[in-house]
Amino acid sequence: MASSNIGAIYRLFPIETFTPDSSAVVIDVTDLFVSDDERLSPLDKYSQHTLSGRLKRKETFEKEKSYVTGIKAFSDNVSVCSSLNYRVTISERGLRDVPVTVSATRSILLLDSLPARPRLTDSRIAIFPTGKMLYSPTTQGARPVWYAHRWRLEPSDPEAYRRGEVVDPVKPIVFYIDRNFPRTWLPYIFEGVNQWSELFEEIGFRNAVQARLFPEDDPEFDPDNLKYSCVRYAPVTIQNAMGPSWTDPRSGQIVSASVYLYHDVIELINNWLFVQTSPADPRVRQKQIPQQIIGDALRYVLSHEIGHCLGFMHNMGASAVIPVDSLRSPSFTRQTGTTLSIMDYARFNYVAQPGDFERGVRMTPPRFGVYDRFLVKWNYTPLFVESPEEEYLLTSEWLREASAHPALRYGKQQFSELLDPRSLSEDLGDDHVRASEYGIANLKYVLAHLNAWTESDDPDYTYRKAIYNGIVNQYFTYLNHVYADVGGVYLYEKHVGDSVEHYRSVPRERQMRALEFLLDQLDDMRWLDDRSVTDNLGLVASAADAVCEAVMKAVVAAPSKVGLSAALAAGDAFTPQACMSLIYDRIWAPTQRREALNLSQIKRQRLFLEMLGTVAGLRAEGDSKSLAAMRQIEVPAAFRADRDLFSPASAECPNPVAGYGEPLPLFYEAPPMEGLAYDCVLRIRRLLEAQRNHPDLQTRLHYRALLHTIETCLK
């Protein structure tokens, strides 16, 4: 083992000399701290200028302009501060050789000589893991194990603790709060940190999580030093927050975790509240939302980030357990809020309708949900047994018991393919069609009243521009939720004995209902083109047309998408053929009825044919592969708002095998779509031939143009 894990050399330094007492060597490390080392790069990969990493950036380090500015040394850590100069080029933004000077502090921390005892974890719970390969003499073959990310929280008085008393931890988890936060934000930030102590108190720890301001009288304190976990303010117009954390790789112990709140996170919260809850909540029908509402939302954002700092991942399934109409119940929302875990991405109550606030309905996520309690209990309850394996026997049993309760199940965040419609971002409730109906009704209400509500505060229309784009984006979000049901497969991480099934295809009726909903929406998008709003927002063409095109693309890709769920269905599958039939009948019904077509219908037929031609491999351009595999309605890149709030606390999650990774259909051959598409094209041609002399001029020309297009494709 030892010879297979000797450790990779990071740097070699020649020994310059020895210390006077010969007990230590002296090396010149200037080159380490004033250099172009990518591993120590101070430039943010997901910076604002690169649109969160979407644009390419070239950096040239200017060594001759860089130098060391300061050094500090303490008993358990040292730090070196350097001024580093770069020239940055982002050609897509016209930025060329822009000088950037960064003052960076690098810390070297001494880890505990004896690592903490790891807590074994598995993929059935939302806790960040560090993966290891376990080679044991008692088993045949090495197997992967995972250590949970957790702080080393030990009772200061174990005997009292075991007697059931609440005790202080040996070392509380302290977050130092930046003194430079806008003063109005501070109380909510403190609250967002301190509130976690409530959950730790339930498992016997007093004041386990504490917020303190940056001390002013401690010469050792330096917020740039890795040793201190901080909540910091960044005066940048990024609408986001992030929370990187660092763990001891030997045990999964969290050594340091920080949260960065960028200034415009407050704008993001404002826009969410306005777009999602203003129909129901009259108090937010203005550009400047009352302090107590937005402050509380800031607290929620921070408490979510602190959750990451405590080792908790996202549980996207926590909102899917709640019946949609309960979100309109005053008693339910007051008690439970919008989700069963604040580690979900459930924003605000977009289901509540006008009048609901007056009836007492709450618009916000809860302070904590039942799943958060479970997380704290599972990850931090001290277990007085002899070994990690013995601990795991207990904690694994907790997971098995939990699996019987939908509220305690874990919905894994899906980064690429959206297979499981339960684990989506920003969705509420157990029925996407119903929830989206409510949500869309609300969006119409917001748009209709937007001018009236903001006219006096928004002289130059910048606020209304942001809200309008927010409405369009939110609309896409609701449609995407419904689209996830089409071809969806419910997934659960399961161990033997758990009361869940590994997978289950979304039932056929539900898939059809979702698809029909999307097709109905195609006829009902004109409300987006409200010129009384958009005429003042600069050059705005038609959001309805843009959304329609994107949705049509998704609809035409649906038959291919349902292939997997059909193959996995026990019986009564929603097959690609049935899917295509449903769509075909809808799009071509007006033609079959010999009607004169309006421009929207013409557009849909044209798009249908165009995209079908691509899938059938008939058209020269277009990317048939990506279309066939499209699993979500693509929001055109340029107006995808950067909504990746709360990037996970650890940068990359190790992705060993199955459980933590993305579900990968193995031994699955996607049914070929070309035949189905080609057959449709021929059917359309026959249909149109019969009507090439339609009495209505526009319709007639449209059919002839389509016939011409078909001939072009078939050549």
Window 405-434: residues binding another protein (CB under 8 A): none
Interface with another protein (CB under 8 A), residue from 38, 73, 183, 570: 183
CB under 8 A: which stretch of 127-135, 212-220, 534-542, 623-631 binds another protein? 534-542
Nearest to 567 by CA among 634, 478, 503: 503
Interface with another protein (CB under 8 A), residue from 108, 110, 394, 705: 705
Query: Could you give phi then psi for residue 379, rounded to 5 degrees?
Result: -85, -25
- Asked if 108 and 78 touch (Cβ cutoff 8 Å), the reply is yes
- Asked if 429 and 323 touch (Cβ cutoff 8 Å), the reply is yes
In 18-70, where does DSSP find H-type helix? 30-33
580 counts as binding another protein under rule CB under 8 A: no
CB under 8 A: which stretch of 187-195, 287-295, 341-349, 360-368 binds another protein? 287-295
72 counts as binding another protein under rule CB under 8 A: no
Residues in the chain: 715
- Asked if 33 and 107 touch (Cβ cutoff 8 Å), the reply is no
Q: Which residues in 79-138 contact another protein (CB under 8 A)?
A: 83, 85, 96-103
Give the span between the Cα atoms of 390 and 384, in whole angstroms.
9
CB of 636 to another protein, least distance (A): 5
Q: Which is nearer to another protein, 210 or 709 (CB)?
A: 709
CB under 8 A: which stretch of 190-198, 410-418, 576-584, 696-704 binds another protein? 696-704
620 counts as binding another protein under rule CB under 8 A: yes
Interface with another protein (CB under 8 A), residue from 8, 541, 570, 664: 541
Q: Which residue has the tokens 């097959």?
A: 575
Convert residues 449-478 into a mask of x (bound to another protein by CB under 8 A) and - (unbound): ------xx-xxxxx--xx--x--x------
DSSP 372-392: HHHHHHHHHS---SSSHHHHH
Q: For residue 330, with 0-12 CB atoms within 10 Å meaning exposed, 13-18 middle and 19 or more buried, which class applies?
A: middle
Q: Which is nearer to another protein, 166 or 236 (CB)?
A: 236
687 counts as binding another protein under rule CB under 8 A: no
41 counts as binding another protein under rule CB under 8 A: no
Coil, strand or helix: which one is 86? strand
CB of 465 to another protein, least distance (A): 6
Q: Which is nearer to another protein, 37 or 267 (CB)?
A: 267
Q: Which is nearer to another protein, 270 or 276 (CB)?
A: 270
Q: Which is nearer to another protein, 93 or 359 (CB)?
A: 93
CB of 484 to another protein, least distance (A): 23
269 counts as binding another protein under rule CB under 8 A: yes
- Residues 6 or more apart whose Cβ sits within 8 Å of residue 410: 124, 125, 126, 315, 317, 493
User: For another protein, how many residues bind (rule: CB under 8 A)?
Assistant: 89
Strand pairing report for 173-177 and 230-234: parallel
The rounded Cα 607 to chain-centroid distance in angstroms is: 31
Quote the DSSP letter at residue 281.
Answer: -
184 counts as binding another protein under rule CB under 8 A: yes
Q: Which is nearer to another protein, 224 or 516 (CB)?
A: 224
E-assigned strand segments in 62-115: 67-73, 77-90, 95-109
Q: Which residues in 588-607 contact another protein (CB under 8 A)?
A: 599, 602-603, 606
Q: Which is nearer to another protein, 287 or 400 (CB)?
A: 287
Interface with another protein (CB under 8 A), residue from 433, 610, 611, 677: 610
CB of 691 to another protein, least distance (A): 13
Query: Could you give phi then psi for residue 176, rounded to 5 degrees?
Result: -90, 130
Structure tokens at 253: 């112990």
Nearest to 47 by CA among 1, 5, 88, 108: 88
Helix 543-568 / helix 508-522 crossing angle, nearest 10 deg: 170
CB of 341 to another protein, least distance (A): 27
In 247-290, where does DSSP find H-type helix? 265-277
Q: Which residues in 650-669 contact another protein (CB under 8 A)?
A: none
Q: Which residues in 208-267 contact another protein (CB under 8 A)?
A: 233-237, 263-264, 266-267
Interface with another protein (CB under 8 A), residue from 206, 227, 377, 619: 619
E-assigned strand segments in 235-391: 241-242, 245-248, 253-257, 259-262
Half-sphere exposure of 380 (CA within 13 A, CB side): 32
